[in-house]
Amino acid sequence: MGRLKIAILGSTGSIGRQAMEIARMHSEELEIYALAAHSNVEALIEQWRECRAKHICLYEAEAAKRLKAHLRPDELKVHSGMDGLIELATLPEVDIVLNAVSGSIGLLPTLRALEAGKRLALANKEALVIGGHIVIDAWRKGSGELIPVDSEHSAIFQCLLGERSENIKRIILTASGGPFRQKKIEELKMVTPSEALSHPTWRMGPKVTIDSATLMNKGLEIIEAMWLFDTAPEKIEVLIHPQSIIHSLVEFVDGSMKAQLSLPDMRLPIQYALLYPKRLPSPISECELLSIGALTFEPPDVSRFPCLRLAREAAIVGGSMPAVMSAADEIAVKAFLRGEIGFMDIPKLIESVMEEHDAKPNPPLDELLEVDEWAKRVASERVNLIGRK
* Sites of contact with ligand NDP (CB under 6 A): 10-16, 36-40, 59, 85, 100-102, 105, 123-126, 150, 202, 204-208, 266
CA 345 → CA 192, 217, 272, 348, distances in Å? 12, 16, 37, 5
Q: How far is the CB of 208 from ligand NDP (least distance, A)?
A: 4
CB of 221 to Mg ion, least distance (A): 6
Distance in Å, CB of 175 to ligand NDP, minimum:
12
Q: How far is the CB of 75 from Mg ion (least distance, A)?
A: 37
From CA 345, how far away is CA 65, in angstroms rounded? Answer: 39
Which residue number, 22 or 86, has a Cβ lying nearer to Mg ion? 22
State the Cα–Cα distance between residues 210 and 208, nearest whole angstrom. Answer: 6
The entry of ligand NDP, Mg ion, none that residue 101 binds, CB within 5 to 8 Å by partner kind: ligand NDP
123: partner contacted, choices ligand NDP, Mg ion, none (Cβ within 5-8 A by kind): ligand NDP
For Mg ion, which is the closer residue by CB, 94 or 325?
Answer: 325
Which residue number is nearest to ligand NDP in terms of Cβ? 13
| C-alpha Rg value of the chain to the nearest Å | 20
Give the nearer residue to ligand NDP in terms of CB position, either 251 or 329: 329
Residue 31 binds: one of Mg ion, ligand NDP, none (C-beta under 5 to 8 A by kind): none
Q: What angle is formed at CA 205 by the lines to CA 82 and CA 97, rounded to 5 degrees?
A: 45
Which residue, 105 or 349, is less far from ligand NDP as judged by CB?
105
What residue 40 binds from ligand NDP, Mg ion, none (CB within 5 to 8 A, per partner kind)?
Answer: ligand NDP
Residue numbers of the site for Mg ion (CB under 5 A)? 150-152
DSSP one-letter string for 65-97: HHHHHHS-TTT-EEEEHHHHHHHHHH-TT-SEE
- The total of other beta-carbon atoms located within 10 Å of residue 298's CB is 13
CB neighbours of residue 108 within 10 Å: 18
Kindly state the smallest distance separating residue 202's Cβ from Mg ion, in Å. Answer: 8
CA distance 148 to 15: 13
- Contact partner at residue 352 from Mg ion, ligand NDP, none, CB < 5 to 8 Å by partner kind: none
User: What's the closest the beta carbon of residue 26 comes to Mg ion, in angstroms?
Assistant: 23
Residues 7/33, Cβ–Cβ less than 8 Å: yes
* CA-based nearest residue to 24, from 201, 204, 270, 278: 270
Closer Cβ to Mg ion, 90 or 231, answer by number: 231
Helix (H, G, I), strand (E, B) or coil at 59: coil
206 versus 233: smaller Cβ distance to ligand NDP = 206
